[in-house]
Amino acid sequence: MLEVRGLVVSYAVRERITACTDLDRLDDWLDRAGTVARAEELFGEDPEAPGSALG
């Protein structure tokens, strides 16, 4: 969906998406994919994100 919208999807973003097995998280990302301005924004304030204050 991100590429269809014309957004650049980096290798790191692609790897994070394809490695995810949490269906609820994937569903959240899919919802966000329609509105983000950059692919990296897809993850938002995800507590599981590498480098996040909570993860």
The per-residue pLDDT for 15 is 96
| Residue 22 within a domain | yes
Give the global pTM.
Answer: 0.74
Which domain covers residue 15, as residue numbers?
11-43
| Residue 33 within a domain | yes
| Residue 23 within a domain | yes
Query: For 22-35, what is each residue's pLDDT tens digit?
Result: 999 999 999 999 99
- Counting residues of the chain whose pLDDT is more than 70, the rounded percentage is 80
How does the average pLDDT of the chain come out, rounded? 85
| Residue 30 within a domain | yes
| Residue 35 within a domain | yes
**Whole-number Cα distances in Å, 15 to 12, 18, 27:** 5, 5, 16
**Whole-number Cα distances in Å, 54 to 5, 9, 50:** 30, 25, 9
| Residue 19 within a domain | yes
Residue 2 has pLDDT above 60, yes or no: yes
Q: How confident is the model at residue 55 (pLDDT cuts 50, 70, 90)?
A: very low
Total number of domains in the chain? 1
